[in-house]
Amino acid sequence: MKNRTSPINHHLSDQLLMAYAAGSLPEAFSLVVATHVSLCDECRARAEAYEAVGGAVLEAETAPMSDASLEACLARLDAPAPAPKAVNGKAQPRGMFPSPLAQYVGGDLEAIRWKPIGMGVRQAILPTSKGASARLLYIPAGQAVPDHGHRGLELTLVLQGAFRDDKDRFGPGDVEIADEADQHTPVAEAGCDCICLAATDAPLRFRGMMPRLLQPIFRI
């Protein structure tokens, strides 16, 4: 993935990783979690540990879990990442989108059909099952997203650039977890346009009149 020059500082919660391992998350949230896990060694280790524990519970009556099972699971993280496939003898460069997202949208950034939603911000709503919605957001460098709160849970994964809000700075690979207690105004950092993958399970709660009027049209 491009533009990842610093370590990931904001990770997924244990509750989200356990729900992901159990297969109980809505599709939109699962997409964000899978994309982040593909980038983050720490969260991937935790997710695989939960999956291993879940598998052991299912098999407990017939096959006891080895004491070394968890260690073996975590050891798989030390395996080198697969190299890009070669075409005509040349390795192909990786795109911006991590593998789970690239497979989901059927390509990379050029496959996205953006729609403007004002102030230079663009979005592309991704098809998902009911329960939550997923979208890609393109926020020009230096541009702010209208001040808003939340009626439910929102996961925002940074793919390129970075943004800041009242909580912290979020760079490539970072995930911001926001809920009903959060009210913020994310601002993309100068120097690089910010691209994010976001999932929500309820409409946002905007303070401004214009965003509230446009909210049903843009489905945010």
- What tens-digit pLDDT sequence spans the chain (220 residues)? 444 446 899 999 999 999 999 999 999 999 999 999 999 999 999 999 999 886 555 455 544 545 554 554 445 444 444 443 433 343 334 688 999 999 999 999 999 999 998 889 999 999 999 889 999 999 999 999 877 667 899 999 999 999 999 889 999 999 999 987 878 889 999 999 999 999 998 876 666 565 555 556 656 6
- CATH homologous superfamily of domain 107-218? Jelly Rolls (2.60.120.10)
Nearest to 126 by CA among 115, 139, 141, 140: 115
Nearest to 32 by CA among 163, 143, 137, 168: 137
Instruction: Give pLDDT, residue 167.
Output: 86
Instruction: Give pLDDT, residue 88.
Output: 38
Return the bridge partners of 194, or none: 139
Domain with CATH 2.60.120.10 in the chain: 107-218
Condensed to tens digits (0 to 9), the pLDDT of residues 66-114 reads: 555 455 444 544 444 444 343 334 333 468 899 999 999 999 999 999 9
d(Cα 135, Cα 141) in Å, to the nearest integer?
19
Instruction: Give pLDDT, residue 118.
Output: 83
**Tokens of residue 94, six digits:** 């990786």
Inter-residue contact 122 to 138 (CB < 8 Å): yes
Inter-residue contact 118 to 142 (CB < 8 Å): no
CB-side neighbour CA atoms (13 Å) of 34: 17
Instruction: Give pLDDT, residue 71.
Output: 57
Instruction: Give pLDDT, residue 119.
Output: 84
Are β-strands 148-150 and 183-184 bridged in parallel, bridged antiparallel, or unpaired? antiparallel
d(Cα 114, Cα 11) in Å, to the nearest integer?
27
Q: Which residue has the tokens 């997924």?
A: 12
Fold of domain 14-80: Arc Repressor Mutant, subunit A (1.10.10)
**Tokens of residue 117, six digits:** 């939603």
Instruction: Give pLDDT, residue 149.
Output: 66
Instruction: Give pLDDT, residue 91.
Output: 38
Instruction: Give pLDDT, residue 169.
Output: 96
Instruction: Give pLDDT, residue 78.
Output: 47
Q: What pTM did the predictor assign?
A: 0.77
Domain with CATH 1.10.10.1320 in the chain: 14-80
d(Cα 85, Cα 87) in Å, to the nearest integer?
7
Instruction: Give pLDDT, residue 1.
Output: 44
Instruction: Give pLDDT, residue 83.
Output: 40
CB-side neighbour CA atoms (13 Å) of 89: 0
